[in-house]
C-alpha cells in the first residue's frame, strides 16, 4: 500500500464560477486558475501522484499548456487515476478537508462525494469542510485551500 498527501489553494475572484470537488457551487465568486481552479481536486491529484512518487500536478498538467486552459479538473483527476493504474495501483480511499470561510459547503458535500467516487473508483471518499475562524487568507475570504490524503493499493496481477 502507498499513501499520498496533497495540498492546494486558489484565489477567489468575482465573475468566476465556483467549482469544488467537481461540482458547481452557487456563490458570488469563483476560484481563479489556469484550469477551473478546483482546489479540492488538485489536492487529491497531488495525493495520488505523491503516493506513486510521480511528482506533482504541475509536472503532468503544466499551467503553461494550452491543453489545460479552462480544463475540467475532474478530467485531470481521471487522467491521474489512469496514470496510477498504469503504474499498477488503484485508489482505496481518500480523505480531505476544504478550508473556506464561505460559502457553506455542507449542502454540497454529498454531491461532491458522489462525483469524486465515480472517478476515483471507490465509495470511500471523505470530504470535510472547515472555516478558518476568520484567520489568514482563507478566513478573510481571499481564497480556498484544500488538503487530501489518499491510500493506493497495488493491483493484483
Ligand atoms: Mg491548483
Q: How far is the CA of 58 from the centre of ligand 1 (A)?
A: 9
Per-residue pLDDT, averaged over 85-103, amounts to 98
The pLDDT value given to residue 68:
85
The pLDDT value given to residue 69:
86
Q: Is the pLDDT of residue 98 over 80?
A: yes
Q: What is the DSSP letter of 142?
A: S
The percent of residues above 70 in pLDDT, for the chain, comes to 100
Q: How far is the CA of 9 from the centre of ligand 1 (A)?
A: 6
Q: Is the pLDDT of residue 155 over 90?
A: yes
Q: How confident is the model at residue 85 (pLDDT cuts 50, 70, 90)?
A: very high
- Give SS3 for 113: helix
Q: How far is the CA of 13 from the centre of ligand 1 (A)?
A: 14
Q: Look-up: residue for cell 491543453?
A: 67
Q: How far is the CA of 103 from the centre of ligand 1 (A)?
A: 19
Q: How far is the CA of 36 from the centre of ligand 1 (A)?
A: 9
Q: How far is the CA of 57 from the centre of ligand 1 (A)?
A: 8
Q: How far is the CA of 73 from the centre of ligand 1 (A)?
A: 9
pTM summary value:
0.97
Write down the domain spans for the chain.
2-154
Residues with Cβ–ion distance below 5 A, ligand 1 = 8, 42
Instruction: Specify whether the CB–CB gap between 148 and 44 falls below 8 A.
Output: yes
Q: How far is the CA of 157 from the centre of ligand 1 (A)?
A: 34
Residues 17-46 have pLDDT tens digits of 999 999 999 999 999 999 999 999 999 999
Q: What is the CATH number of domain 2-154?
A: 3.30.1330.50
Q: Strand order in 143-154's β-sheet? A: 29-31, 2-14, 143-154, 89-99, 125-130
Amino acid at each position: 500500500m502507498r499513501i499520498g498527501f496533497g495540498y492546494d489553494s486558489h484565489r477567489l475572484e468575482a465573475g468566476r464560477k465556483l467549482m469544488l470537488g467537481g461540482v458547481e457551487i452557487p456563490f458570488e465568486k469563483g476560484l481563479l486558475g489556469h484550469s477551473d481552479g478546483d482546489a479540492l481536486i488538485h489536492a487529491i491529484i497531488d495525493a495520488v501522484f505523491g503516493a506513486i512518487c510521480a511528482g506533482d500536478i504541475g509536472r503532468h498538467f503544466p499551467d503553461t499548456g494550452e491543453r489545460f486552459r479552462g480544463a475540467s479538473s475532474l478530467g485531470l483527476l481521471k487522467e491521474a487515476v489512469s496514470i496510477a493504474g498504469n503504474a499498477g495501483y488503484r485508489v482505496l480511499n481518500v480523505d480531505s478537508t476544504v478550508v473556506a470561510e464561505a460559502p457553506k459547503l455542507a449542502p454540497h458535500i454529498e454531491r461532491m462525494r458522489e462525483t469524486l467516487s465515480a472517478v476515483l473508483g471507490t465509495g470511500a471518499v471523505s470530504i470535510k469542510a472547515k472555516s478558518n475562524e476568520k484567520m489568514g487568507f482563507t478566513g478573510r475570504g481571499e481564497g480556498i485551500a484544500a488538503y487530501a490524503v489518499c491510500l493506493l493499493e497495488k493491483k493484483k496481477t
